[in-house]
Amino acid sequence: MSVTAAQGFEAAGVAVGLKSTGKPDVAVVVNRGPLRTAAAVFTSNRAKANPILWSQRAVQDGVAEAIVLNSGGANCFTGAFGFQTTHQTAERAAELLGVSAGDILVCSTGLIGTGDEAFRAKVLAGVERGIAGLSADGGEAASLAIMTTDSRPKRAVQSRDGWTVGGMAKGAGMLAPGLATMLVVITTDAVVDAAQADAALRHAAKYSFDRLDSDGCMSTNDQVTLMASGASGVAPGPDEFRAALTAVCQSLAEQLQQDAEGASHDITIDVEHAATEDDAVEVGRSVARNNLFKAAVFGGDPNWGRVLAAIGTTTAVFDPYDVDVWMNGVRVCTAGRPDRPRDEVDLSPRATRVLIDLRSGNARATILTNDLTHDYVHENSAYSS
């Protein structure tokens, strides 16, 4: 049930014609309390969509009554009209729920640079229909309504002693740190205050969504929102809550990776024995963004030379002639020299694992990415047509 797995939440997903397919395209998630705790993290892209600009302000007080999400239009670079549309979306939801518009968060996803009176009317109609159709088992419908090029919804739930964390996500391309082309809503019935929610969410995002780098492209609309109702009456310790939240975020990040547009391989890049964690992340990300390496994986070629060439572009501390590389369990390079024959590496499974040992320290990090395929190029060559 994703976002309605936790007590105190209702949700809905409705179709109002934003998508040409006629599928659900507006989702509403409402926190019925008793707490209305909220935290969010946003894209670090300087080019931000109107809903991001709104939500960044609205969540500053650590309170949110509800969140409205639409697919079928990003409402980005749509000028004053677009920001007014976001404002009216929040106002309409607030009016129907009997709360302040400043406590309504808004998210949008879809094509950049489109938006007119018809778009606005459909979004507002979706708010009305969504709120009228709210239910405690509406999480599944909501997770379907936020999909764009996704082939399947992404949902995750973690239950502990008397309390639950549940979440939904959308995203299938432009997956890069800060955050990805994704919308994520996470709910919990645990008793947490705004400071605890914010700290836990930032930690969880750092070790999940910010380690997902499918194609090196960063979106304008990324938002991860956490809402806490406190309906369970249970106040978990900070470490326990952070662990459950991180598990949900990591599951959703892996589901995003596995549904990346056109991908035929899900690549996990483990970097070990780095001087610092930042070094490990930088090295892993350099490989995740290397198109030559990603194309080689697509072609079934264990070209480890491209791994070394990629990590050599970083500022991380290591000796490039003292690095080991494994591909799917086979050490193909040791101390900067060939090791096992390439034909021992089987790249036919979808799950692909690359291990890079920098021999420079005790830090590590894992980066998730995908291969570069014909289907990815085809799908993104005509996205707006």
Distance CA 175, CA 254 (A): 11
Distance CA 250, CA 368 (A): 11
Q: In the chain, where do the E strands start and end?
A: 9-14, 26-31, 37-42, 66-70, 104-108, 154-159, 164-170, 183-188, 223-228, 266-274, 324-327, 330-334, 337-338, 351-357, 363-370
Distance CA 365, CA 367 (A): 7
Q: Give me Rg for the CA atoms of the chain.
A: 21
The H-assigned helical ranges of 227-276 are 238-258
Q: Tell me if 149 sits within 8 A of 112, measured CB to CB.
A: no
Whether 181 is catalytic is yes
Catalytic residue (one of 43, 86, 148, 181): 181
CA distances from 195 to 52, 192, 354 (A): 21, 8, 37
The token duo for 283 is: 């090295």
Phi/psi for 242 (5° steps) reads -60, -40
CA distances from 376 to 84, 173, 215, 334, 384 (A): 35, 9, 10, 33, 14
Contacts of 269 by beta carbon, 8 Å cutoff, 6+ apart: 284, 287, 288, 354, 356, 366, 367, 368, 369
Q: What is the dihedral of CA 58, 60, 65, 67, to 10 degrees?
A: 50
The token duo for 114 is: 């489109």
β-pair partners for 267: 352, 369
Distance CA 303, CA 30 (A): 50
Distance CA 140, CA 381 (A): 31
Q: How do beta strands 266-274 and 351-357 pair?
A: parallel
Residues annotated as catalytic are 181
